[in-house]
Amino acid sequence: MVQSECRLLRGLLGFICLFPVCMSISSDLCPSLKTVRDSLNITLRRRFMKINFPINYTIQVHYEEVFRLRNISRLKMDYEEEPVQQRDLQDLWLWVSQQGIKRVLRVLPERHPTRHKYLSNLENLFRDFEAFYNQNHPADEQRILPERIQNIWDHLTDQNYEGWRSVTPKSILDNCYRTMLCLFKECFSKEDENYDYCEVLNWRKGKKTT
């Protein structure tokens, strides 16, 4: 009985020692993510993704690549049988964001200022964040995704899928920025604890137009 209690105590002490490490894993993502956030500020988005393009210029993306706050709200609706985890939405955000940058890069001439002064660097920042993200959030290969999430992935990875939509280059990064603050708000909430980054109406009010 005494030996059993000692083993239990040692296990508990071991967990307590590891707990700060576990807590720091998630927070390790924040510096890298804040660097991405800084490069997505409204001044840079407007200059490189709007002013540097012809008026009303659009590119073709898949429907599912227009990933907005409304999409997050719909996907998070309460389905008891197939709940969507935050990791599911973060995975989608990361893939869609990187794909959006690649789509813009494909249409830019090699010497276009947006390419070599902005997007190429942003692409590298996302790649660095992805490395941190995958290291701290190992994929669960055995987990079965909710059907509505799996359907999105099937469309995103289907080379024959023809669900196309026209969007402006700036809107791609606008959506990326806003959904990032919503899905990773633990990295940003201390900067404005009373603000709900996931609430669409809050953005419309103009308080957080960036």
Element (H, E) at 32: helix 29-39
How many CB atoms are located within 10 Å of the residue 152 CB?
Answer: 23
191 pLDDT tier (thresholds 50, 70, 90): low
Quote the pLDDT of residue 206.
Answer: 55
Quote the pLDDT of residue 57.
Answer: 96
Quote the pLDDT of residue 190.
Answer: 66
19 pLDDT tier (thresholds 50, 70, 90): very low
User: In the chain, what percentage of residues exceed pLDDT 70?
Assistant: 80
d(CA 203, CA 209): 6
Q: What is the mean pLDDT of residues 33-37?
A: 95
Residue whose pair of structure tokens reads 């227009």 in the numeric block:
66
Given a cut of 50, whether residue 25 has pLDDT beyond it is: no
Q: Going from the N-terminus, what domains does the chain have, and what CATH number goes with each?
A: 27-204 (1.20.1250.80)
pTM of the model: 0.81
Residue 206, Ramachandran bin (φ over 0: left; ψ between -120 and 50: alpha; else beta):
left
Element (H, E) at 172: helix 169-183
Closest to 192 (Cα-Cα) out of 177, 200, 201, 202: 202
- Over its C-alpha atoms, the chain yields an Rg (Å, rounded) of 20
